[in-house]
Amino acid sequence: MKVLGIIPARIGSTRLPAKALKFIGDKTVVQRVWEQATKAACFEELFVATDSSEIADCVKGFGGSVLMTGSHHATGSDRVAEALELREKAGKHFDLVANVQGDMPFIEPGVIRRTVQCLAEADPTFGMSTVVMPLFDENEFKRDSVVKVVLGVDGRALYFSRAPIPHRRDPEKCEISPTAPIGYKHFGLYVFRPATLKALNKMSPSLIETREALEQLRALANGILIKAAFATPEEMNASIEIDTSEDLSRAVAAVQSGKAR
């Protein structure tokens, strides 16, 4: 099975401009994401897709491969769709396409592989996969910066929200245990069937997508099935998503303390 790996990276990130070029220790954010994706060893080809010559130069400097894409994309997956189109025009064919978001410098390679495998082995009715982990911390569950997902019995995503879902009407009757967490936390790693990605790219943003500011809700609103791959808290707790200057400071501290490399 041929899998295309794309790391979308833009210079004009809203809350932390040029975050792909910020240093964590002696490496930039984008270099760390590239190295983790390379270690996953599941991609026929791997590229950073960007609209920035600065990011492109940085990637080429550490030996990575670049695809130059437009500056008009509203989401990372839209940029990944253009990257897929560019590779197909070059005569390449892929069975799956992975969006390894460029703000996860410590993502575990095994989690990337598992998310790819999840869709590769899923029923063909599933158009994409993503990764989730169980949540046991009440404060994390309530934070609106933490994206939660409700899952069906077959591992399909029913809904994503920044709100604490599923709501517990009577918390005292809801036992919290390793087999019954408070909820599930979602991480922005996506794998698509090429036809699904192309279809999504042509769809207008849905109402729930714009209200929650979550791109994956466009898929659910249009009937695309999303399969969840499961990761453990131990695998994902070190996977700091760099969205703000505070996140960057936490990542730097993790490297300095030896908790991340």
Give the model confidence (pLDDT) of 209-260 as tens digits: 999 999 999 999 999 999 999 999 888 877 787 878 888 888 898 888 776 6
Task: List the domain boundaries for the chain.
Answer: 3-256
E strands in 111-261: 126-135, 148-151, 157-161, 183-192, 225-230
CB 126 within 8 A of CB 227: yes
pLDDT of amino acid 174: 61
The Cβ of residue 184 has, within 10 Å, a number of other Cβ atoms equal to: 21
d(CA 101, CA 188): 7
Q: Residue 129: is its pLDDT beyond 60?
A: yes
CATH classification number, 3-256, choose in 3.90.550.10, 3.30.470.30, 3.40.120.10, 3.40.50.1980: 3.90.550.10
Q: Residue 75: is its pLDDT beyond 60?
A: yes
d(CA 191, CA 205): 19
Q: What are the percentages of helix, strand and coil residues in the chain, rounded to 5?
A: 35, 25, 40
**For residue 45, what is the enclosing H or E element?**
strand 45-50
pLDDT digits (tens, 9 = 90+) for 210-224: 999 999 999 999 999
The more confidently predicted of residues 5 and 235 is 5
d(CA 51, CA 11): 7
pTM: 0.91
Give the mean model confidence (pLDDT) for residues 153-166.
94
Beta strand pairing call for 148-151 and 183-192: antiparallel
CA-based max dimension of the chain: 58
pLDDT digits (tens, 9 = 90+) for 25-59: 999 999 999 999 999 999 999 999 999 999 999 99
